[in-house]
Chains A and B, each alone.
Chain A
Amino acid sequence: MSEWWTYGLSDLLMFSPRAYWALFEQENAALWPLPLIAVGLGCLLVVLAARADRLAAPMTFGLIAIAWGSVGWSFVGQRYPTINWAASYMAPIFAVQAVIAFAFLRRAVARPPHHTAGADRILGIGLIAYATLIHPLWSVLFGRPLGSAEIVGIAPDPTAIATLGAGLAFLSGSARWLFFAIPLLWLLVSAVTLFTMGEAQGWVPAIAAVLAVIGALRERDPEKLADFSDKITRHDR
């Protein structure tokens, strides 16, 4: 019965850029002053990733879990569906990411993770800082009101980008990819949505996702490295 596949993406897109960007303005206004607090918590995430002490990983995963839970419940579950009925189907996926982050929190408490070192960690810190401090500025740079800024922990894109940053800073190996799957999926959806609307901002989620994937592919697992050096030293002995 359905002939969806014969439609182009632009035929399926049911809202205009002005209606999409207005969502963030409404969300920020409805939650005010939470957006301000969220920026503060984003800064805390940057500090935690940079210091990487015992509490850093559990606190980061806790904040990320809360962010996905609240973005999924409020923006994706309630605000976005006012113009896009498909959004209500995406909300549960945000809940799943919240659960995943919570599981990592528990794991980090039981067994503090090896903090990643080198370039991927720096990239991770950079992505969190970007998501918190730079991403909100796109609204103004693209000529939209400051009130429509996309804030980490309120809007999905910066939340997903900060999450990738946290994954780079605190996780490695398959754990990292598990943590990455949903944020990457979201950024892909977001990039396609923005490009379909003809919005140049589609490059932002696309580039952030590609950077995080490159960072993750470059990694050298510290546990494996430790194993390896162990073997070498044993051999020497």
Chain B
Amino acid sequence: MIDRRTFIFGAAGGLILGAAAKRAGAALRPVETRSLPATGMAIPVIGLGSWITFNVGDSPDLLRQSTEVIRAFVEDGGGMIDSSPMYGSAQATIGHALGQLGRPANVFHTDKVWTSSVSGGAAQIKESARHWGVARFDLLQIHNLRAWEGHLETLMAMKEAGEVRYVGITTSHGRRHGSLERVMREHPIDFVQLTYNPVDRAAEDRLLPLAQERGIGVIVNRPFQGGRLADRLSRHALPPLAQETGAASWAQLILQHIVSHPAITVVIPATTQVDHVRENKAAGRLALLDPGMRRRIADHIRAL
């Protein structure tokens, strides 16, 4: 089901990738991509989150820094940028950056609906699109299953009308997996978003196999546990097994572990740092790991 094709994410995306490669003075290996189960469209496995990191208000300095992060992301293949009306000014920051960067074509615009008022959903989506500066989103998700029955109707109708390409539903921190499973079984959604990393592996039991079975794309949030896992591991030396996998850092080892699960479509680490975007993106070019190596990594991290 998961097809790992070499990637050209639209013509403009290819051009930008080419430009970045030229600037780097070397042939940049294309970023690993996954086909979206529903349509076969390819998308880079390393996306970009925006919780906290892009909530910078009107600060010109921080808007500039955020733009540089998004520039690095776009130059390195782009892909999914995920936000939500819950994230303060993050949507506006992304909109600002995309405007500055000339609206790059290789961004997979991903947002959420987050309101307990079902009738208020459409207006909120419109407001979100205004912040992003886009006419429509590639993917709209129901944030934390909030009022999901009603919003799902709205989103499906929008999809039918061509106002959004894909529809999904999110959770995090391992919450409400029972409800999520029910939605996945009973409704034709394109994506689920959930927390998954070498430490938080609750999704492995039922949700990831179910996603594969039903052809639902999986977006992984909190790969670094909101930074806590990355901080904790930074106090330990990178284990020798990283030499076997090719990961140059803990962050890369974690991302490599995550995207090597065959059910995963994209992981969306958030960062404020250009170096970290590049490092994370580079993890998408590492070899995929077999289940044995994935187990060794998880065991090693758990034992630390």
B-binding residues in A (CB < 8 A): 1, 3, 6-7, 10-11, 13-16, 18-19, 22-23, 25-26, 79, 82-85
Q: Mark B175-218, 1 if CB is under 8 A from A, else 0.
A: 11000000000000000000000000000000000000000000
If A22-B56, A22-B57 touch, whether A14 touches B87 (CB-CB below 8 Å) is yes
A-binding residues in B (CB < 8 A): 51-53, 55-59, 61-62, 86-89, 116, 144, 146-147, 173, 175-176, 226, 272
Tell which of B56, B57, B116 has the most Cβ of chain A within 10 Å: B57
Instruction: Pick 23 A–B contacts, CB within 8 A, sort by A.
Output: A3-B176, A6-B173, A6-B175, A11-B173, A11-B226, A13-B52, A14-B52, A14-B86, A14-B87, A16-B53, A16-B272, A18-B56, A18-B62, A19-B55, A19-B59, A19-B62, A22-B59, A25-B59, A26-B57, A83-B56, A83-B57, A84-B88, A85-B88
Minimum distance in angstroms from A102 CB to a CB of chain B: 31
If A22-B61, A82-B88, A85-B88 touch, whether A16 touches B52 (CB-CB below 8 Å) is yes
Contacting residues, chain A, for B62 (C-beta < 8 A): 18-19, 22
Contacts A22-B57, A82-B58 aside, 13 further interface pairs with beta carbons under 8 A come to A13-B52, A14-B51, A14-B86, A14-B88, A15-B52, A18-B62, A19-B59, A22-B62, A23-B57, A26-B57, A82-B88, A82-B89, A84-B88
Give A13 to B116 CA distance when docked, in angstroms: 20
Instruction: Across the interface, name the chain B residue whose C-beta is closest to A145.
Output: B61
Contact A14 B55 (CB under 8 A): yes
Minimum distance in angstroms from B103 CB to a CB of chain A: 24
If A19-B59, A19-B62, A25-B59 touch, whether A7 touches B173 (CB-CB below 8 Å) is yes
List the 10 closest pairs (A to B, CB-CB), nearest first: A82-B57, A22-B59, A83-B57, A19-B56, A83-B88, A15-B55, A83-B55, A16-B52, A14-B88, A82-B89
Contacting residues, chain A, for B175 (C-beta < 8 A): 3, 6
Give A169 to B147 CA distance when docked, in angstroms: 52
Tell which of B55, B86, B226 has the most Cβ of chain A within 10 Å: B55
Give A175 to B304 CA distance when docked, in angstroms: 56
Give A23 to B272 CA distance when docked, in angstroms: 17
Instruction: Across the interface, name the chain B residue whose C-beta is closest to A87.
Output: B88
Contacting residues, chain A, for B61 (C-beta < 8 A): 22
Tell which of B56, B147, B173 has the most Cβ of chain A within 10 Å: B56
Minimum distance in angstroms from B221 CB to a CB of chain A: 12
Contacting residues, chain A, for B272 (C-beta < 8 A): 16, 18
Minimum distance in angstroms from A73 CB to a CB of chain B: 17
Instruction: Across the interface, name the chain A residue whose C-beta is closest to B175.
Output: A3
Contact B87 A26 (CB under 8 A): no
Instruction: Across the interface, name the chain B residue whose C-beta is closest to A18.
Output: B62
Minimum distance in angstroms from A93 CB to a CB of chain B: 20
Instruction: Across the interface, name the chain B residue whose C-beta is closest to A16.
Output: B52
Minimum distance in angstroms from A60 CB to a CB of chain B: 33
Contacting residues, chain B, for A11 (C-beta < 8 A): 173, 226
Give A82 to B89 CA distance when docked, in angstroms: 6
Minimum distance in angstroms from A193 CB to a CB of chain B: 14
Minimum distance in angstroms from B212 CB to a CB of chain A: 27
Instruction: Across the interface, name the chain A residue whose C-beta is closest to B116.
Output: A1
Give A78 to B144 CA distance when docked, in angstroms: 28
Give A84 to B87 CA distance when docked, in angstroms: 9
Instruction: Across the interface, name the chain B residue whose C-beta is closest to A79.
Output: B57
Minimum distance in angstroms from B88 CB to a CB of chain A: 5
Instruction: Across the interface, name the chain A residue whose C-beta is closest to B92.
Output: A82
Minimum distance in angstroms from B139 CB to a CB of chain A: 22
Minimum distance in angstroms from A80 CB to a CB of chain B: 9
Give A11 to B226 CA distance when docked, in angstroms: 8
Contact of A1 among B55, B59, B147, B226 (CB under 8 A): B147
Contacting residues, chain B, for A10 (C-beta < 8 A): 226
Instruction: Across the interface, name the chain A residue whose C-beta is closest to B57.
Output: A82
Contact of A19 among B57, B116, B176 (CB under 8 A): B57
Contacting residues, chain B, for A1 (C-beta < 8 A): 116, 146-147
Instruction: Across the interface, name the chain A residue whose C-beta is closest to B145.
Output: A1
Minimum distance in angstroms from A96 CB to a CB of chain B: 25
If A19-B62, A22-B62 touch, whether A83 touches B146 (CB-CB below 8 Å) is no
Give A14 to B147 CA distance when docked, in angstroms: 22
